[in-house]
């Protein structure tokens, strides 16, 4: 049954702005559910109210349509209602056959239930002092009768056993007598002939499936739930408070269960695993052919002519790693947006993910907490290293490790054993300062771009088509990794964002590349530093400086050669 209900504002108009229309539509949907659900006497299959959601109706020549229907007038809501105050509890399933094998065909349900009854009656008979098999037939017939199994089908299933066929007349007499004496519709006592433990499991299973939806979130590692008796569309975390509430609801329906029973059910394989990213990518529409990835990059005002192409390749790599097209490498390349405060860098990063995936975005990652940082690779789809220049130099090595790590091997909270976890995270970064790259060799891992003006994030993004484009291009075999030529281009573009240490500045002041390497004596990096110290009073040489100085010289393209003393560099002092 599909019912179309018109709603308008008090003045007969409709909201003009998209955000107002979204809130108005959600409120109208919930009001319609409140009105029609009690009248229909059944639970309406809820769908989250989107403005873009359509509705298909089967061809019906008798469809009722009233073009003059009076529209329901409601005030413009100030926010999307959560529907928490409406609670409609679905009726429990009373049919033992349906509870024993929900969704199965009737024959399958009867076969399952009969097997359980026969096993239980046989066990009771074998444990009793009686040896008259007629008593077994009587108990079996009465149990089948009470549980609603039709007489002929019960007799038929009994006579399928070769050992009982010789008692055919006795069995038929026992069943005929039992069914004659019992009034099935008025005196049915479900589950009285089933072991108590099995009865409890069946009742709990029916209760949980009727009242709630559960799922185990693969990325967060937690269980989430949806109360089917309330108008809710967003799954919420399963907490101790929620567990206690569920336990009380079950006890109100007569189930003798405790919190440990609820936890046992929730933490079993009866609760399906939910993969947020896989679910999102798996439900995308077909790509319409319009390019959107480069257009999204174009919203960042910059003078870097290759920014759009580099962002395009990075975006494809992000989606490709979500799709596990490369399980041997992590997506180690990171766009780094550099600009003044208030230009929209962080908002742009957040808006790269559709609303449904934004719970898996973070801009708070502590590289000092190594285990937490590694878990973030599994728990988040996009990690924004906000204020990139604030990352301590002592954490730079670990940052490089994190960017390249393909698989997360760690122990989840409250678990004793480590296991391999799938990496989902791709990185992006922002900064207000320009001298932020510290790797002396130049970093190919960062796509630095200077944001010249305010980023346009006011225009809506068609996320379904944006990601459908990436998915389709990857399906066609589009390259999602950077070539050596592209990496060299990235390194060259990053020169303006490199930090220039004091020792490099002093080297460029006092030395230059030798014009004729045959005429100069090559020097060790430590020897060059000693000469700088002689020329610059107060210049202190450290062990770290000596280790990194050779990289600085290579960054400045200083010729060198390997000797018995070590790597020597061809430089000469600047005159004056």
CA distance 463 to 444: 29
Residue 257 lies in a domain: yes
What is the pLDDT at residue 306? 92
Token reading at 284? 């995308």
Q: Decide if 137 is inside a domain.
A: yes
* Range 234-262 average pLDDT: 92
Residues 492 and 348 occupy one common structural domain: yes
CA distance 223 to 46: 21
Give the relative orientation of helices 133-146 and 168-181 as an angle to the nearest 10 degrees: 40
Do both 379 and 259 map to the same domain?
Answer: no
* Residue 106 in this model has a pLDDT that exceeds 70: no
Kindly tell me if the per-residue pLDDT of 62 is higher than 80.
no
What backbone phi and psi angles, to 5 degrees, belong to 550? Answer: -60, -40
Residue 354 and residue 410 share a domain: yes
Alpha-carbon Rg for the chain in angstroms: 35
The answer to whether the beta carbons of residues 551 and 441 sit under 8 Å apart is yes
Predicted pLDDT at 437: 76
Same domain, 392 and 481: yes
Average pLDDT, the chain: 83
In a shared domain, residues 356 and 414: yes
Q: What pLDDT sits at residue 457?
A: 81
> Do 188 and 103 belong to one domain?
yes
Residue 551's domain comprises 502-573
User: How far apart are the two ends of the chain, measured CA to CA in Å?
Assistant: 93
Number of domains in the chain: 5
Mean pLDDT, range 216-233, rounded to an integer = 84
How many CA atoms are closer than 13 Å to the CA of 398, on its beta-carbon side?
15
Domain membership of residue 83 (yes or no) is no
Are residues 524 and 493 part of one domain?
no
Q: How far is CA 8 from CA 149, 380, 506, in A?
A: 53, 41, 73
Any domain includes 282: no
- Which of 497, 519, 548 represents a domain boundary (last residue)? 497
- 468 vs 76, which has greater pLDDT? 468
Q: Are residues 188 and 202 both part of a single domain? A: no
Where is the domain boundary, 143, 176, 194? 194
Query: pLDDT for 344-354, tens place per residue?
Result: 999 999 999 99
At 414, the pLDDT band (50, 70, 90 cuts) reads: low
Question: Do 411 and 534 lie in a common domain?
Answer: no
Within a domain: residue 185?
A: yes
- State how far the Cα of 521 lies from the Cα of 524, in Å rounded to an integer: 10
pLDDT of 240 higher than 50: yes
Among candidate residues 384, 298, 377, the one with its CA nearest the CA of residue 335: 384
Which pLDDT tens digit goes with each residue over 5-52? 888 888 888 988 887 888 888 888 878 877 676 566 555 666 777 777
Query: What's residue 101's pLDDT?
Result: 56
Over residues 111-153, the pLDDT tens digits come to 888 888 898 888 888 888 878 889 999 999 988 888 878 877 8
For residue 85, what pLDDT is reported?
47
pLDDT at 245: 93
Pick the more confident residue, 469 or 40: 469
As a whole number of angstroms, the distance between CA 152 and CA 236 comes to 48
What is the band of 315 on the pLDDT scale with cuts at 50, 70, 90? very high
Does residue 173 register a pLDDT over 70?
yes
d(CA 280, CA 318): 14
Of 274, 309, 337, which one is at a domain's C-terminal end?
274
Same domain, 185 and 157: yes
Q: What Å distances lie between residue 72 and 28, 76, 113, 221, CA to CA?
A: 9, 12, 50, 44
- Write the pLDDT tens digit of every residue in 182-211: 754 455 555 556 678 888 888 898 889 878
Question: Which CATH number goes with the domain that contains 509?
Answer: 1.10.10
Most distant pair of Cα atoms in the chain: their distance: 123
């Amino acid at each position: 049954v599909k019912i179309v209900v018109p709603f308008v504002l008090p003045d007969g108009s409709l909201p003009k702005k998209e955000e107002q229309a979204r809130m108005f539509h959600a409120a109208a949907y919930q009001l319609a559910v409140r009105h029609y659900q009690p009248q229909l006497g059944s639970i309406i299959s809820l769908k989250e109210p989107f403005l873009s959601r359509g509705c298909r109706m089967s061809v019906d020549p008798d469809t009722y349509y009233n073009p003059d229907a009076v529209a329901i007038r409601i005030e413009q809501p100030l926010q999307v209602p959560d529907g928490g105050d409406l609670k409609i509890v679905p009726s429990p399933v009373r049919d033992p056959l349906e509870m024993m094998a929900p969704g199965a065909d009737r024959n399958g349900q009867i076969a399952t239930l009969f097997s359980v009854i026969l096993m239980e009656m046989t066990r009771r008979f074998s444990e009793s002092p009686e040896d008259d098999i007629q008593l077994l037939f009587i108990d079996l017939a009465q149990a089948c009768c009470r549980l609603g199994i039709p007489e002929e089908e019960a007799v038929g299933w009994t006579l399928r056993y070769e050992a009982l066929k010789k008692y055919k007349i006795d069995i038929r007499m026992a069943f005929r007598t039992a069914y004659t004496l019992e009034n099935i519709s008025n005196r049915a006592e479900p589950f009285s002939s089933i072991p108590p433990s099995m009865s409890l499991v069946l009742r709990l299973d029916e209760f949980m499936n009727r009242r709630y939806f559960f799922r185990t979130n693969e990325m967060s590692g937690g269980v989430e739930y949806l109360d089917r008796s309330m108008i809710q569309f967003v799954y919420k975390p399963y907490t101790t408070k929620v567990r206690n509430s569920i336990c009380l609801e079950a006890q109100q329906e007569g189930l003798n269960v405790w919190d440990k029973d609820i936890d046992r059910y929730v933490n079993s394989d009866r609760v399906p695993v939910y993969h947020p990213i896989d679910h999102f990518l798996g439900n995308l529409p077909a790509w319409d052919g319009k390019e959107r990835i480069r257009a999204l990059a174009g919203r960042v005002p910059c003078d870097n002519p290759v920014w759009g192409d580099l962002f395009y390749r990075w975006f494809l790599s992000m989606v490709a790693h979500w799709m596990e097209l490369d399980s041997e490498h992590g997506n180690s390349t990171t766009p780094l947006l550099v600009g003044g405060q208030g230009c929209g860098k962080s908002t742009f990063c957040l808006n790269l993910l559709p609303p449904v995936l934004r719970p898996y975005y973070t801009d708070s990652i502590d590289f000092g907490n190594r285990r937490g940082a590694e878990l973030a690779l599994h728990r988040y789809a996009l990690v924004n290293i906000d204020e990139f220049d604030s990352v301590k130099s002592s954490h730079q090595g670990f940052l490089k490790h994190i960017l390249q790590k393909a698989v997360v091997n760690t122990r989840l909270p409250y678990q004793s054993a480590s296991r391999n976890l799938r990496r989902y995270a791709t990185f992006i970064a922002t900064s207000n300062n320009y001298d932020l790259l510290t790797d002396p060799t130049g970093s190919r891992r960062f796509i630095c771009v200077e944001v010249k003006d305010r980023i346009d994030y006011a225009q809506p993004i068609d996320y379904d088509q944006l990601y459908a484009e990436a998915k389709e291009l990857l399906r066609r075999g589009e390259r999602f990794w950077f070539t050596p030529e592209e990496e060299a281009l990235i390194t060259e573009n990053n020169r303006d964002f490199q930090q220039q240490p004091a020792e490099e500045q002093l080297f460029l002041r006092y030395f230059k590349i030798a014009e004729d390497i045959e005429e100069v004596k090559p020097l060790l990096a430590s020897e060059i530093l000693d000469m700088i110290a002689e020329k610059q009073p107060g210049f202190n040489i450290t062990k770290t400086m000596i280790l990194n100085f050779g990289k600085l010289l290579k960054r400045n393209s200083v010729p060198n050669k390997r000797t018995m003393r070590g790597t020597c560099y061809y430089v000469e002092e600047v005159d004056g």
